[in-house]
Structure 1
Amino acid sequence: MKTIYLFRHSAPDRQSTAANSQIPLTADGKAAAKRFWNKIRPSEAVAVYSSPYRRAYETAEAISKSIITDARLAERETGEQGTFTIQAWARQYTDCDFANTGGESFRTVRTRMTAAISYILTQTKDGEAAAVVSHAAAICAYLQQYCTITVTDAGKKLRRITFSGATVLNGPISTPSCFVLRFEDGVLRGIEYVGI
């Protein structure tokens, strides 16, 4: 059995005027990342991988100082600034080929996320684990191949995620949070959600 701890980054500074990829965590977000890691600290050996986005990398720093960045773990590109509406956000969950002008579809994101996590699994031995820090939309795009994801309230970004008929999450994906994925012989056998 191999385990992937698939983290959503901690709380970003929503007041930042930096480019999306450079938005940092708040001071509270950094502290929350450390507390959250201590809450779920696995007993298995852990390698740490991160999106190159600053908020993800700063979350990964709460786990380890030895971090492998992988651009395939980056957030979904939403396209032209200011044009990605709540309706577009909800649509990506029912139409994986939908992409806002200049943005990525969930299918495109799923392809790169799957390639990254498949590679990470090849680098992880049985009985070991990897921590992977990414972003909510990228994580959902990846999970869609295994789970049913239904938007329950687009305005509040609430989702119901089910795996093999069981509810994994019914609500928001908190910052930080983690989906614990258990693979056996390359097949996802179990998934659980751990929120802050």
Structure 2
Amino acid sequence: MPVEVDPIERMREVTEAAHALICEGGLDAVTVRALATRLDCSTTAVTHYFKDKAEILLATYRHSVARVRRRREESAGEGFVGQLEAILPLNPEQRDDWLIYIAFWSEALCSPVLKAEQKARNREIVAAVNAHLAMADILPEGTAEADRMAIARGIVASLYGIAVQAVFDPERWDAASQRDALGRALAAHIPDHR
């Protein structure tokens, strides 16, 4: 009698294995054979759920996005800054997510499907920051919607800049340095930010 495999669980296992392979060796490390070896299964068990490497990469990227979204939700009690810090590569888990993002970006440059995914995720995080700015009492009363959106975009651009520098120069960009840079960026974008 064949062993029943939960397809959702198998796809999660494949994306987690791809996540680990990308963090260890970049996109070139992700092959169907390497995934099968890591999962101790046949290559057919991988290709049954994903038609190609682009599909695996997209699922892996979405897996990282979901991890960051979960961390942001868990940080809701820590306020706006806590939710932004949940995005930065302050610890190994968060750094791994940024390794996935950066690898994904290189592929998204040449793939319309992956580029559309990246655009959607960028817009999602800007919208989340904008929504927080709209609900919180941290901008001057009467701040126009267009100005608030520009501030949200600036904050997200600062986050991305800090994160990329931290990934490539972790000795200089430790958690304290990242938090300091985030505080300075927020002070530049939000009047009276402390």
TM-score by length of 1: 0.28
Q: Which has the higher strand share?
A: 1
Report which of the two structures shows the higher radius of gyration computed on alpha carbons.
2
Q: Which has the higher helix share?
A: 2
